[in-house]
Amino acid sequence: MTDISLSGGRKLVYRHRLVVRITHWFNALAIVCLFMSGLQIFNAHPELYWGPKSTFDHPILSMSADTDDDNNDYGTTTIFGHDFDTTGVLGLSSNGNGQMVERGFPRWITLPSASPELAVGRRLHFFFAWMLTINGLIYMGSSLLNRHVQRDLVPTKQDLSAVGKDIVNHIRLRFPRGEESRKYGVLQKITYLAVVAVIVPLMILAGLTMSPRVDAGFPFLLTLFDGRQSARTVHFVIAFTILGFSMIHIAMVVLSGPINNLRSIVTGWSSIEEDKAP
């Protein structure tokens, strides 16, 4: 689309196609609901292991509640054999009625928050998992057809040579201006491509590996992840990796201009400075 000149030496440029904007917001909804419902499922057995079976005496991660010598309840989180007091947040938290109950993650971060029923959480998790998968296939299919992936996400040799400079600019919160801001920086390209092509597919495979029915049809998945419990641990770690990516993404949106960035991903149009003629 044609750029639109504005006053003050700025112009509107068209950055995001409609399919990119729609799939972006569906992804955001699906990821939030998947994360919260996943934590509700995790609360049914708040421990992680590595290998084909549960080694109850030696979990990688464990959240629980106990009572001390003074008969006071407390929450504890154990990571690789090291205990941490997480009372009020992990292991022991409020049930919403002023009572402290044993619970892996607190109710406010789980979906559904009011009901501890595993079946409800599983149904919600599977629903949004299908939403994320179908939405992702639509995004990838359309992006490959209109060459969005090849043109905007795959870093070139020139991009890769500027990785160090881009890292320094991000640390100093120096964001691109003018025509340079029309395209993704090399760190954005590498990160987005890794999420779309590696992290999310790996999370889906790990999730499928937890299903005995899927394992029966595709037994190589158990070999790939070294067992169903390992797949559960990988799934959990990737979920928090995506959470970290999302938090950094939101922080960059806010720091680089929230109004302009939101307009860009809602309407497709972004305001940039016009480069001055030499």
Please state, rounded to an integer, the average pLDDT across all residues of the chain.
Answer: 92
Q: What is the mean pLDDT of residues 41-59?
A: 94
Inform me whether the pLDDT recorded for 250 exceeds 60: yes
pLDDT at 278: 53
Q: Half-sphere exposure (CA, 13 Å, Cβ side) for 111?
A: 17
pLDDT tens track for 122-177? 999 999 999 999 999 999 899 889 888 888 889 999 999 999 999 999 999 999 88
Find out whether 111 and 33 touch, Cβ atoms under 8 Å.
yes
Residue 277 has pLDDT above 60, yes or no: no
What is the percentage of the chain residues whose pLDDT exceeds 70? 98
Per-position DSSP letters for 209-234, written without gaps between them? HT-HHHHHH-THHHHHHTSHHHHHHH
pLDDT tens for 51-71 read 999 999 999 999 999 999 889
Judge residue 92's burial from the number of C-beta atoms within 10 Å of its C-beta, 0-12 exposed, 13-18 middle, 19 or more buried: buried
pLDDT score of 276: 64
pLDDT band at 259; cut points 50, 70, 90: very high
Cα angle 205, 209, 211; round to 5 = 130
